[in-house]
């Protein structure tokens, strides 16, 4: 009698095991790859679409889109190109939908990421193109960048029954806002989060359970499950198969063909790391606030998310521009003019020496009996950048400006404890909660320093609004008014005070309101032309472009040890702004700030104002080299040959996003000033508590 045979159990591949706990999505625009792996869904992006569109096997899809565009009537050239681009995306989507049983994601133009209405219009057009091809909208995910404006567009679309995939997502505040908006799906970018932390820390994160991107997605997943959100979490942008496997159990994972192949080729055990009830129980986070100001401040406080969101929009936009150039060429449409650099430095600056050395003097021979300070004061109003009264008294500048970091340093000095004690006494005499008393003491402390400074300088003193209000127009306006009221109570007219506000869009709107009330504003943390133009259009009295911080960024980005003053990026930026203002008749004062060396200061000789730290004031007092005027209104105006920049909200946000330096430095500056405020608050809180016992 024959021995009974036992059936050999099939060994599952990692792909098959993963598919049992997670829906697998193909992250590609290549039709052949989708056929090969047969995923549930597929998602594309502009980078993938650009690559796929150049492949010979997809030229029928491209040609069909071009024929559609050429046949359009009564449209502008730009509309024809935009509609052709949408048709091309849809053509790929329609083809993909013959291969997958679930969703296909089609992305809205990334250049619309800060324009809610335009995003809505493009999304609706994409859906209409799918419907014309016989595809129901229930199978389409409209892919939108997770900016505040994109999230608001998602909210509208979801109510219209148009499902959305919120992309370029790097942080919990974005995820929370998307869920509150009713998004169908989010795509947190695992690998790009990892990239940032590897670069910043030098850590390679070889173990996936320590991978910052995997940790972020796991946190979002747990947050959603704890608070009952139905939004699908789909991890994206992987750098290794291990990252994919670390998120086994996530609702969906969108995976590039390279890693799909690796999963199919391996039969190692796949452990489910994410499970709804366990993740919900492990989450200790309360619901995040859902207001715009809270969203923007939370994003600002996360340098990784700020940097990567901006970088992602720039990257997708760049690929769209490349694809669009091909489409325009094949449609026979002339490209729309794009504004280029419109400022050329004066001849002296153009003749700058190359190299990495930092120039600290002008090398123009002696200045006679006059110090460099005296010569500079003949062409520029000198402002002291300090909270130290004795330093201001020593150098006798026209104006003085402080910031939270300077106030924090001064508040710890024995010489200024009287200011702190007076602020505490003021707060203790008020009704209100402990938080309100601390806030009142903080304002009074800033004003106390300002009052003492005004005994020394004949001009302005700048007093800064709490940096944590940088994305809250109404709160900034209220704080500005409160500060002015404290000065008025002390007998100081508002004409001698500059309310210092971060140059966010919300801060600029607050400036506009305050200026109309006769309250002068100093717009700080300014790093680019988009900010400068918006401030001038809002009627700001003064702006403070941060020379040294601009240069710091470029040194770190390029690896250079320094710049000659004539080619210093910070000096060039201020010179360009100065020229724009003079060219277009803006009366807003340009005050260069945040210097790293004396050479930067002297390179801006002739600027309306320069706010200078005591260290460099001393160097200028000690120096006798001849100071050459570098900026002069008429010459600078002539050097600037461009037209007016747009100053509307959408243009502002997009232009700021396009400037990596400005995006990162603005966020960093707000975070740094906010941290300094927290430190001063600790001093105040402790003193109020001690006085109350």
pLDDT digits (tens, 9 = 90+) for 524-581: 999 999 999 999 999 999 999 999 999 999 999 999 999 999 999 999 999 999 999 9
Domain assignment present for residue 248? The answer is yes
Is the CB of residue 342 less than 8 Å from the CB of residue 640? yes
Gap between the Cα atoms of 344 and 641, Å rounded: 8
Residue 576 and residue 636: Cα distance in Å, rounded?
8
- Our answer to whether residue 500 is catalytic in this structure is yes
Instruction: Identify the pLDDT of residue 5.
Output: 55
The DSSP symbol for 287 reads P
| Residue 430 maps to a domain | no
Is 425 inside any structural domain? no
Q: Is the domain of 321 the same as that of 365?
A: no
Residue 349: the pLDDT is: 37
Domain finish residue from 303, 331, 359: 331
Buried b (16+ CB within 10 A) or exposed e, 325-340: eebbeebebeeeeeee
Please pick, among 500, 583, 598, 665, the residue that the annotation labels catalytic: 500
Instruction: Report how far residue 300's alpha carbon sits from residue 672's, in angstroms, rounded to the nearest whole number.
Output: 11
Given a contact cutoff of 8 angstroms between Cβ atoms, the answer to whether 451 and 487 are in contact is: yes
Shared-domain flag, residues 396 and 324: no
Residues 308, 663: contact at Cβ < 8 Å? Answer: no
Q: Which two tokens stand for residue 614?
A: 């005591």
Are residues 55 and 25 in contact, defined by beta-carbon separation less than 8 angstroms? Answer: no
Assigned domain for 211 exists: yes
> pTM of this prediction?
0.91
Dist CA 395 CA 56 (whole Å): 71
| Residue 133 belongs to domain with CATH number | 3.20.20.70
* String of DSSP letters for 507-546: HHHHHHHHHHTT--EEEEEE-SHHHHHHHHHTT-SEEEEB
Total structural domains within the chain: 2
415 falls within a domain = no
C-beta of residue 48 within 8 angstroms of C-beta of residue 322: no
Answer yes or no: do 231 and 369 share one domain: no
What distance lies between CA 279 and its chain's CA centroid? 31
Token readout for 120 is 């809505």
Cβ atoms 98, 132 nearer than 8 A = no
- Matching residue, tokens 């091909």: 326
The pLDDT score that the predictor gives to residue 350 is 37
Q: How many helices (H) and strands (E) does the chain have?
A: 31, 16
**What is the model's pLDDT at position 50?**
87
For 396, left (φ over 0), alpha (ψ -120 to 50), or beta? left
For residue 688, give the nearest of 465, 430, 334, 515 by alpha carbon: 430
Both tokens of 431, joined, read: 């009704």
Residue 328 main-chain phi, psi, to 5 deg: -60, -45
For residue 169, the surrounding DSSP H or E stretch is strand 164-169
- Residue 429 is assigned to a structural domain of this protein: no
Q: Identify whether residues 354 and 327 lie together within a single domain.
A: no
- Check whether residue 352 and residue 320 sit in a common domain: no
Residues of the chain with pLDDT under 50: 1, 340-341, 343, 345-364
Residues spanned by the domain of 586: 347-400+458-670
Domain contains 490: yes
State the DSSP code for 353: P
Query: Running DSSP on this structure, what letter comes out for residue 91?
Result: H
**Phi first, then psi: what are they for 395, rounded to 5°?**
-95, -10
Same-domain status, 104 and 172: yes
Euclidean distance between CA atoms 274 and 255, whole angstroms: 17
Rounded CA separation 614/78 (Å): 54
> What phi-psi label fits residue 278: left (phi over 0), alpha (psi between -120 and 50 degrees) or beta?
alpha
Same domain, 210 and 352: no
Helices (DSSP H) in 623-659: which residue ranges?
633-639, 649-658
Task: Say if residue 327 is in the same domain as residue 380.
Answer: no
Q: What 3-state DSSP class applies to 666?
A: helix
CA distances from 31 to 36, 134, 257, 322, 438 (A): 9, 19, 11, 21, 62
- Does one domain contain both 321 and 367? no
pLDDT in the model for residue 336: 67
Give the number of other Cβ atoms within 10 Å of residue 147's Cβ. 28
- Let me know if residue 115 belongs to a domain: yes
Answer yes or no: do 320 and 375 share one domain.
no
Is the same domain home to 238 and 351? no
Question: Looking at the structure, do residues 169 and 296 belong to the same domain, yes or no?
Answer: yes
């Amino acid at each position: 009698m024959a021995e009974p045979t036992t059936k050999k159990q099939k060994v599952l591949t990692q792909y098959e095991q993963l598919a049992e706990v997670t829906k697998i999505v193909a992250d590609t625009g290549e039709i052949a790859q989708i056929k090969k792996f047969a995923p549930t869904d597929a998602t594309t992006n502009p980078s993938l679409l650009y690559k796929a569109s150049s492949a010979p096997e997809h030229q029928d899809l491209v040609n069909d889109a071009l024929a559609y565009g050429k046949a359009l009537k009564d449209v502008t050239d730009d509309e024809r190109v935009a509609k052709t681009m949408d048709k091309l995306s849809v053509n790929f989507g329609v083809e993909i939908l013959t291969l997958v049983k679930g969703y296909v994601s089609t992305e809205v133009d990334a250049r619309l990421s800060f324009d809610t209405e335009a995003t809505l219009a493009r999304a609706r057009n994409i859906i209409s193109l799918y419907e014309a091809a016989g595809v129901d909208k229930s199978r389409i995910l409209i892919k939108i960048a997770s900016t505040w404006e994109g999230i608001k567009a998602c909210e509208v679309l979801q109510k219209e029954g148009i499902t959305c995939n919120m992309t370029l997502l790097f942080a919990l505040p974005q995820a929370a806002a998307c869920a509150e908006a009713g998004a169908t799906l989010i795509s947190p970018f695992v690998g790009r989060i990892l990239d940032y932390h590897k670069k910043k820390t030098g850590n390679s994160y070889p173990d996936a359970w320590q991978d910052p991107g995997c940790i972020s997605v796991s946190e979002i997943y747990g947050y959603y499950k704890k608070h009952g959100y139905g939004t699908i979490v789909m991890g994206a942008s992987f750098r290794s198969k291990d990252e994919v496997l670390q998120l086994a159990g996530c609702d969906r994972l969108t995976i590039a063909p390279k890693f799909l192949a690796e999963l199919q080729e391996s039969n190692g055990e796949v452990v489910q790391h994410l499970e709804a009830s366990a993740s919900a129980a492990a989450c200790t986070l309360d619901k995040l606030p859902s207001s715009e100001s809270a969203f923007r401040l939370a994003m600002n406080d996360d340098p990784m998310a700020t940097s990567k969101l901006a970088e992602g929009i720039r990257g997708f936009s760049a690929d769209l521009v490349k694809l669009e150039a091909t489409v325009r060429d094949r449609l026979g449409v002339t490209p729309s003019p794009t504004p280029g650099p419109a400022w050329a430095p004066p001849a002296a600056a153009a003749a700058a020496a190359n190299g990495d050395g930092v120039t600290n003097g002008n090398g123009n021979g002696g200045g006679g009996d006059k110090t460099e300070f005296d010569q500079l004061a003949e062409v520029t109003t000198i402002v002291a950048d300090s909270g130290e009264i004795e330093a201001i008294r020593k150098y006798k500048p026209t104006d003085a400006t402080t910031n939270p970091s300077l106030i924090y340093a001064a508040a710890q000095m024995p010489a200024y404890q009287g200011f702190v004690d007076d602020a505490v006494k003021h707060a203790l005499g008020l009704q209100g909660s402990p938080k309100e008393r601390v806030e009142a003491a903080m304002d009074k402390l800033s004003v106390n320093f300002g009052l003492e400074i005004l005994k020394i300088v004949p001009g302005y003193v700048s007093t800064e609004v709490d940096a944590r209000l940088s994305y809250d127009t109404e709160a900034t306006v209220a704080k500005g008014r409160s500060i002015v009221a404290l000065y008025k109570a002390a007998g100081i007219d508002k004409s001698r005070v500059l309310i210092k506000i971060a140059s966010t869009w919300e801060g600029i709107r607050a400036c506009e309101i305050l200026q109309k009330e006769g309250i002068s504003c100093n717009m700080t943390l300014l790093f680019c032309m988009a900010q400068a133009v918006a401030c001038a259009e809002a009627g700001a009295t003064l702006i403070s472009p941060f020379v040294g911080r601009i240069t710091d960024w470029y040194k770190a980005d390029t690896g250079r040890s320094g710049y000659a003053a004539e080619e210093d990026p910070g000096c060039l930026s201020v010179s360009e702004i100065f020229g724009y203002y003079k060219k277009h008749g803006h009366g807003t004062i340009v005050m260069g700030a945040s210097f790293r060396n004396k050479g930067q200061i002297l390179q801006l000789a002739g600027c309306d104002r320069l706010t200078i730290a005591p260290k460099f004031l001393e160097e200028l007092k000690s120096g006798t080299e001849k100071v050459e005027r570098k900026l002069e209104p008429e010459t600078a105006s002539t050097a600037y040959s461009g037209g007016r920049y747009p100053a509307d909200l959408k243009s502002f946000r997009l232009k700021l996003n396009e400037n990596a330096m400005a995006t990162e430095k603005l966020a960093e500056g707000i975070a740094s000033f906010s941290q300094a405020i927290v430190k001063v608050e600790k001093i105040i809180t402790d003193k109020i508590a001690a006085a109350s016992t």
